[in-house]
Chains A and B, each alone.
Chain A
Amino acid sequence: MNLKTKALKKSLWVYHMSGGSCNNCDIEILDCLTPKFDLERFGIVLVGSPRHADVLLCTGIVNKKCVERVKEVYEQTAKPCVVVAIGACACSGGMFRDSYEMGGPLNKIIPVDIYIPGCPPKPEAMIAGIVKVLEKLK
């Protein structure tokens, strides 16, 4: 493992992208970034632009209007980057899998590195998922 990958593991900047979610997963993501869980001690910081991001946290079923936007955000992200599907909707479509607006799930649109199921997943589950991403980065 070279120095830059080591540095990447210690400093993940996350960008939060909603592909038409019900807001529940988004609220859990924000909970995950609060002082209680203190992700900054692992170097994880929320950034405002996909250009700065190393991790894309995607929520929601990715409805038909969002498909193009999600693709564009993925293309704008500086590589190497990790895509995390958060919540049952992003992983599989969840209860909306037969919906007329269903454009996803996420892995039909962009390559997904890790799935964190749950409706919504707990912050602890997200942290466990991020740790698995770190093991995957080599």
Chain B
Amino acid sequence: MKIFYILLYFVAALLSFSIYGMLAMWVDRKVTARIHFRVGPPWYQNFVDFIKLTGKEVLIPEKANVLMFVSAPVLGVIAAAVAGTTILLVLQNNISFAADAILVIYLLTIPSLAVILGGSASGNVLASVGISREMKLLLGYELPFVCALIIAAVKSGSTTSLGEIIQFQQQNGKLIGSLSGVIGFGIGVLALQGKIGFVPFDLAEAEGELAGGSFIEYSGILLGLYKLTKAILLVVGPLFLISLYMGGINFSSVAGVIAGLLKYFVILVIFILIKNTNPRLRIDQALKLFWGWLTLFGIIGILLALAGW
């Protein structure tokens, strides 16, 4: 019976993440359009895109490994939603266990792995270039992302349990109020930008040169699932950062939910601004940024956190 409830909770979380994610994607497209002095698409555009993709033919290339080609996008959606559900359980029902922040980091890696699996299963040359970039990018942004987690963990008294980190922030003020918190938050935002694949780091699916990159052979509902994964990550990633640095979201009162939405929109706007003011980086530049400057700042942040700043 308990398993049944957990499954039901998961499905509800998956649905709500999909809806919020697609609305967030619309905000991104609309704001981008306004920056270009355009009108932009209507609010239901991403839902329409998804429904259209479900009605399209699914083409599977001759050279593809069919099982992997079909299962990779499903894997991505499920992993992203499970990561989100883990965070939501902590925020909503206060169900937390030791080191669940590390679990979330692992789960957030799987959508990128799904892109790599699907791209390599399709047997396309351009897809293989795309996945090689995605792999390097994955190795790149994980390091600063882990640094961001370590800073939060050290600041809140050496714990990697999301529940305890949030509890610490409720008692001692939000971590973003301190110097090391600001550094950790900034690193986290940039690493998430790479994880979601927004513009300065969209080199894995570069439309101009790789014709869609890792997704080049995908069509129909499978492509729709990849778009859905991206939408879910756009909700789950900021939710993770909010839990680590901005004190989480209080679901018990209306004011708490509104404050949570405001926190989410602040992060979303930062994403969109970075996206619209930066050209795409080359893979070597992206790696230099992640392993060089961001990791350096991450180590400085950890030292500051250890010193109590």
Chain A interface (Cβ < 8 Å from any Cβ of B): 3-5, 7-8, 10-11, 35, 38, 40-41, 43, 46-49, 51-52, 54, 76, 78-80
Query: Does the CB pair B48–A78 fall under 8 Å?
Result: no
Closest residue on chain B to residue A79 by CB atoms: B57
Q: Which of B40, B51, B215, B220 contacts A40 (CB under 8 A)?
A: B40
**A79 to B51 Cα, complex, angstroms:** 15
CB neighbours of B217 from chain A (8 A) = 49, 51
Contact A38 B38, beta carbon cutoff 8 Å: yes
Would you call A10 and B48 a contact (CB within 8 A)? yes
Residues of B at under 8 Å CB distance from A?
Answer: 29, 33, 36-42, 45, 48-49, 51-52, 54-59, 207-208, 210-212, 215-220, 223
State how many angstroms separate the Cβ of A28 from the closest Cβ of chain B: 19
Contact check, B56 vs A76: say whether CB atoms are below 8 A apart: no
Contact between B38 and A7, CB atoms less than 8 A apart? no
Inside 8 A of B212's CB, which chain A residues have their CB?
Answer: 47-49, 51-52
B38 touches A52 (CB 8 A): no
Q: What are the 10 tightest A-B residue pairs by CB atom distance, in nearest-first order?
A: A4-B55, A78-B219, A48-B207, A48-B211, A49-B212, A7-B51, A7-B52, A51-B219, A38-B38, A48-B212
28 contacts between A and B (CB under 8 A): A4-B52, A4-B55, A8-B55, A10-B45, A11-B48, A11-B49, A35-B37, A38-B39, A40-B33, A40-B40, A41-B33, A41-B42, A43-B48, A46-B207, A47-B207, A47-B212, A48-B207, A48-B210, A48-B212, A48-B216, A49-B211, A54-B56, A78-B56, A78-B57, A78-B59, A78-B220, A79-B56, A80-B56
Interchain nearest-CB distance for B53 vs A (Å): 9
- Excluding A41-B38, A51-B219, A54-B56, 9 further A-B contacts by CB distance (< 8 Å) are A4-B55, A10-B45, A35-B38, A46-B207, A47-B207, A48-B216, A51-B218, A78-B57, A78-B59
* Docked complex Cα distance between A4 and B49 (Å): 10
Find out whether the CB atom of B216 lies under 8 angstroms from the CB atom of A51: yes
Smallest Cβ-Cβ distance to B56: which chain A residue: A78
How far is it, in angstroms, between the C-alpha of A81 and the C-alpha of B69 when the chains are bound? 23
Give min CB distance, A8 to chain B, whole Å. 5
Partner of A41, one of B37, B39, B220: B39
* Shortest beta-carbon distance from A34 to chain B in Å: 9
Q: Which of B37, B45, B59 makes the CB contact (< 8 A) with A51? A: B59
Interface contact A52-B219, CB-CB below 8 Å: yes
Q: Who on chain A is nearest to B216 by CB?
A: A49
Expressed in whole angstroms, the Cα–Cα distance for A3 and B55 within the complex equals 9
In the complex the two chains form, what is the Cα distance from A8 to B40 in whole Å? 18
**Complex: how many Å from CA A137 to CA B79?**
37
Tell me the smallest distance from the CB of A7 to a CB of chain B, in Å. Answer: 4
**Contact A40 B219, beta carbon cutoff 8 Å:** no
Interfacial chain A residues near B45, Cβ < 8 Å: 10-11, 43
Q: Verify B52–A8 contact, CB threshold 8 A.
A: yes
Are B48 and A7 interface neighbours, CB within 8 A?
Answer: yes
Task: Name B220's closest neighbour in chain A (CB-CB).
Answer: A78
A40 to B29, CA, bound (A): 9
Task: Report the separation of the CA atoms of residues A99 and B215 in the bound assembly, to the nearest whole angstrom.
Answer: 39
Residues of B within 8 A of A51 (CB): 59, 212, 216-219, 223
